[in-house]
C-alpha cells in the first residue's frame, strides 16, 4: 500500500473536521477526493503530508508515519491557492524544492516538464511575482512532479487553470499514472475527476460517504455525476425523488 | 549541502531581491546624514553629538530593518502557503527554523560590519571599543532574530508579530533600568522587578556605548559574559520555537 489511513479523526475544539476515516490507496492508483466546501478534503490531505500533526488514528505512507522524514521523502504535495516565494525565479524555486529532496536540478528535465505544461522556458528565469495565477499553479505542479516521488498529493490542482491548461495537466497526470505513481487529489469538478481517477472518495461533513469507481458513483443516479454525488451526500434527496 | 544550508541559501536569495532589502541603502544614508546634522546643530560638543547619534541611529536602523525583514519574510511564506511546500519535504521543522535563523543572522552581521567599518572610518571611537560594542550588538541582533522567528511562527499574524517583536525589544531594554530605578526610589518593588529581570532577556548587556563615547577602558573579556548569556537565551528561544512549531498544525 502507498497510503494507509486508519480511523482518522481530527477535531478543532468542538468541531469535527474528520470522523473515523479509513482509506487504503494502492501503489499506482489514482484516487480523487470529492466533497463540498468545508467537507474536510484539505484537512485530510494536510494530515497525509504531515502539515497536521494533532489527530487521532493512524496515517501511514509506505508503512511509515506520515510526518516522519522517511515518509516525506516518498511524497510531494501541492497546496490549494498557493503562491511560491515572489522574489525567487521559477528555476530557483524548482531547484529549491528538488534540493530539499536531495535531488539535483537538471535543466533539461525542468525545461521538458515546463514544455509539457506549456510554460515558456524564458519565463522560468523571471521572478515569480511577474507570473499570472495560472503560471504559478503550473510552477507548483512542476515542483510537485519533478522530484519523481512515489506519491503525489494535490489539493485542487486544476483550480485557476483555463480549459487548455486543464487538458495539459490531465495529460501530465496520465503520464504520471503510466510511470506507476500514486496520485491522490481533490477537485470540485467531477467530470475532470472521472477522466483522471480510478477511484473516487466522497467525504461529507468529515465522514467518508463513498469509496468506489466513477461507474459505481454513477449508479446512484441515472443522470449526471453531479446528481449522483448529491444523492450520495444527501440520501433524503433520493427518497424524496 | 545540508537541508539547513539549503533553506538559508534560498532565504538569502529571496531576501536580496526583496524591495524591502534595498530600502536599507536610503536608511543607512539617512542615519549618516542625521548624524552630521546633529553635529552641525548641537549646542554641546559637535563631535560627541555626532558619535552619540551615529551609534544610536545605526543600532536603531539595523534592529528595525532586520526585524521587519524577518517578520515580513516569514509571514509572507505562511500567508502564501509557500511554507507548506517547504515543511512537507523531508526536512524537520527545526531545520527550517535554524536555516532561517542562519540566513537572517548573516544579513544582520553583514549590516553590523558595514556600520562598524563606517564608525572606524569616521573615528567615532577607538578601534577596540567599537569592535567590542558592535560585537555585543551582533549578539543582541541574533537574540532578536530568534525571538522574531518564534513570535512570527507562533502568532502567524503580521500586526501581532510586529507588536510582539517590538514589545520583546522594549522589555529587553527596560528590565535592567527598572531594577536600577527601583533600587534608588522604591525598594519594595525590587523583588518583583527582579522577577521580570530574570524572566526576560536583558538586552542592556549588549551595549558598550558608554565605553565608546567616554573612551573608557574595554577588553575582549567584556564580551565573555554577554556571549554566554546570549548563547543560553538563543538555546532557550530556539527550544521554545521548535517545541511550538513541532506541535502545531498548519
How does pLDDT run across A9-31, given as a tens digit for each residue?
999 999 999 999 999 999 999 99
Beta-carbon separation of B88 and A72 below 8 A:
yes
Cβ-based interface (< 8 Å): residues of B facing A? 1, 3, 6-7, 10, 13-15, 17-18, 76-77, 80-82, 84-92, 246-250
Torsion of CA B195, B196, B199, B201, to 10 degrees: -140
B88 to chain A: which residues are within 8 Å by CB? 49-51, 72, 75-77
CB A143 within 8 A of CB A113: no
Q: Between β-strands A56-61 and A64-65, what pairing exists: parallel, antiparallel or unpaired? A: antiparallel
A160 at the B interface (CB within 8 A)? no
Burial class from Cβ neighbours inside 10 Å (0-12, 13-18, 19+) for residue A76 reads buried
CB B89 within 8 A of CB A100: yes
List, as own/partner pairs, every contact residues A191-198 make where C-beta atoms lie below 8 angstroms and the sequence separation is at least 24, other chains included.
A191/A225, A192/A158, A192/A166, A193/A32, A193/A34, A194/A225, A195/A170, A196/A30, A196/A32, A196/A170, A197/A30, A197/A31, A197/A32, A198/A29, A198/A30, A198/A31
CB B246 within 8 A of CB A53: yes
Instruction: Indicate the average pLDDT of chain A.
Output: 91
CB A165 within 8 A of CB A134: yes
pLDDT of residue A236: 63
The three cell numbers locating residue B230: 546570549
B4 to chain A: which residues are within 8 Å by CB? none
Q: How many residues does chain B have?
A: 250
Of the candidates B25, B100, B115, which has an alpha carbon nearest to the alpha carbon of residue A85?
B100
A140 to chain B: which residues are within 8 Å by CB? 85
Of the candidates B126, B142, B100, which has an alpha carbon nearest to the alpha carbon of residue B6?
B100
pLDDT digits (tens, 9 = 90+) for B135-175: 999 999 999 999 999 999 999 999 999 999 999 999 888 88
Q: Decide: helix, strand or coil at residue B212.
A: helix
Q: Which residue has the cell 535554524?
A: B98
Rounded Cα–Cα distance for residues B112 and B106 (Å): 10
Q: Between β-strands A3-12 and A64-65, what pairing exists: parallel, antiparallel or unpaired? A: unpaired
Rounded Cα–Cα distance for residues B173 and B59 (Å): 13
Beta-carbon separation of A82 and B80 below 8 A:
yes
pLDDT of residue B104: 97
Interface of A with B in 61-80 (CB under 8 A): 69-70, 72-73, 75-80
pLDDT at A154 over 90: yes
Beta-carbon separation of B17 and A88 below 8 A:
yes
Q: Decide: helix, strand or coil at residue A9.
A: strand
List the single residue in B82, B89, B249 with the smallest CB-CB distance to A83.
B82
Rounded Cα–Cα distance for residues A87 and A93 (Å): 10
The three cell numbers locating residue B97: 527554523
pLDDT of residue A194: 86
Q: Decide: helix, strand or coil at residue A203.
A: strand
List the single residue in B10, B17, B88 with the smallest CB-CB distance to A127.
B17
A155 to chain B: which residues are within 8 Å by CB? none
Computed over its alpha carbons, how large is the radius of gyration of chain A? 18
Between vectors from CA B6 to CA B79 and to CA A155, what angle results, nearest 5°? 40
The H or E element spanning position B127 is: helix B127-155
pLDDT of residue A218: 84
Measured in whole angstroms, the distance separating CA B230 from the mean position of its chain's CA atoms is 11
Measured in whole angstroms, the distance separating CA A190 from the mean position of its chain's CA atoms is 14
Chain A contact probe: residue of B23, B89, B100 with most A CBs at under 10 A: B89
Residue B200, min C-alpha distance to chain A (Å): 30
The region that residue B130 occupies, defined by phi over 0 for left and psi between -120 and 50 for alpha, beta otherwise, is alpha
pLDDT band at A239 (very low <50, low <70, confident <90, very high): low
pLDDT of residue A238: 55
pTM of full prediction above 0.80: yes
pLDDT digits (tens, 9 = 90+) for A40-98: 999 999 999 999 999 999 999 999 999 889 999 999 999 998 889 999 999 999 999 99
pLDDT band at B204 (very low <50, low <70, confident <90, very high): confident
Q: What is the ipTM of this complex?
A: 0.89
A/B interface, count of CB pairs below 8 Å: 88
Residue A67 or B73, more confident: B73
Q: Which residues contact B66 (CB under 8 A, 6 or more apart)?
A: B104, B107, B108, B111, B141, B144, B145
Range scoring the smallest mean pLDDT among A136-140, A193-197, B75-79: A193-197
Rounded Cα–Cα distance for residues B178 and A11 (Å): 45
Rounded Cα–Cα distance for residues B231 and B244 (Å): 20
Q: How many residues does chain A have?
A: 241
Amino acid at each position: 500500500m502507498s497510503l494507509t489511513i486508519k480511523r482518522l479523526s481530527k477535531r478543532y475544539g468542538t468541531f469535527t473536521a474528520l470522523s473515523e476515516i479509513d482509506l487504503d490507496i494502492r501503489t499506482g492508483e489514482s484516487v480523487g477526493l470529492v466533497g463540498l466546501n468545508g467537507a474536510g478534503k484539505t484537512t485530510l490531505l494536510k494530515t497525509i503530508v504531515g502539515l497536521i500533526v494533532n489527530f487521532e488514528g493512524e496515517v501511514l505512507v509506505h508503512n511509515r508515519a506520515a510526518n516522519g522524514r522517511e515518509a516525506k521523502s516518498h511524497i510531494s504535495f501541492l497546496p490549494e491557492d498557493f503562491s511560491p516565494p515572489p522574489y525567487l525565479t521559477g528555476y530557483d524555486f524548482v531547484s529549491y524544492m528538488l534540493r530539499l529532496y536531495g535531488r539535483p536540478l537538471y535543466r533539461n528535465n525542468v525545461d521538458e516538464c515546463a514544455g509539457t505544461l506549456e510554460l515558456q522556458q524564458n519565463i522560468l528565469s523571471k521572478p515569480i511575482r511577474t507570473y499570472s495565477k495560472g503560471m504559478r499553479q503550473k510552477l507548483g505542479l512542476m515542483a510537485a512532479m519533478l522530484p519523481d516521488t512515489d506519491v503525489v498529493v494535490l489539493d485542487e490542482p486544476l483550480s485557476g487553470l483555463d480549459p487548455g491548461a486543464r487538458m495539459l495537466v490531465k495529460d501530465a497526470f496520465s503520464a504520471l499514472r503510466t510511470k506507476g505513481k500514486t496520485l491522490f487529489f481533490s477537485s470540485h469538478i467531477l467530470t475532470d475527476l472521472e477522466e483522471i481517477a480510478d477511484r473516487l472518495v466522497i467525504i461529507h461533513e468529515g465522514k467518508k460517504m463513498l469509496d468506489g469507481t466513477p461507474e459505481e458513483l454513477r449508479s446512484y443516479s441515472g443522470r449526471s455525476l453531479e446528481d449522483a454525488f448529491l444523492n450520495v451526500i444527501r440520501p433524503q434527496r433520493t427518497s424524496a425523488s | 549541502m545540508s537541508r539547513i544550508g539549503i533553506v538559508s541559501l534560498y532565504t538569502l536569495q529571496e531576501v536580496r531581491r526583496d524591495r524591502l532589502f534595498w530600502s536599507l541603502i536610503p536608511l543607512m544614508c539617512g542615519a549618516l546624514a542625521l548624524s552630521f546634522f546633529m553635529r552641525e546643530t548641537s549646542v554641546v560638543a559637535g563631535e560627541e553629538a555626532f558619535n552619540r547619534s551615529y551609534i544610536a541611529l545605526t543600532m536603531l536602523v539595523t534592529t528595525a530593518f532586520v526585524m521587519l525583514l524577518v517578520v515580513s519574510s516569514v509571514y509572507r511564506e505562511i500567508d502564501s502557503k509557500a511554507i507548506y511546500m517547504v515543511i512537507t519535504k523531508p526536512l524537520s521543522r527545526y531545520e527550517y527554523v535554524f536555516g532561517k535563523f542562519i540566513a537572517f543572522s548573516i544579513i544582520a552581521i553583514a549590516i553590523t560590519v558595514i556600520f562598524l567599518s563606517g564608525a572606524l572610518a569616521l573615528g567615532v571611537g577607538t578601534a577596540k571599543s567599537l569592535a567590542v560594542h558592535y560585537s555585543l550588538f551582533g549578539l543582541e541582533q541574533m537574540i532578536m532574530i530568534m525571538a522574531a522567528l518564534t513570535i512570527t511562527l507562533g502568532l502567524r499574524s503580521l500586526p501581532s508579530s510586529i507588536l510582539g517583536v517590538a514589545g520583546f525589544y522594549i522589555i529587553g531594554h527596560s528590565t535592567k533600568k527598572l531594577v536600577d530605578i527601583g533600587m534608588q526610589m522604591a525598594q519594595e518593588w525590587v523583588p518583583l522587578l527582579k522577577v521580570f529581570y530574570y524572566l526576560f532577556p536583558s538586552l542592556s548587556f549588549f551595549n558598550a556605548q558608554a565605553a565608546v563615547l567616554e573612551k573608557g577602558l574595554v577588553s575582549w573579556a567584556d564580551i565573555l559574559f554577554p556571549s554566554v548569556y546570549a548563547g543560553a537565551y538563543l538555546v532557550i528561544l530556539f527550544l521554545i520555537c521548535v517545541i511550538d512549531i513541532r506541535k502545531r498544525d498548519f
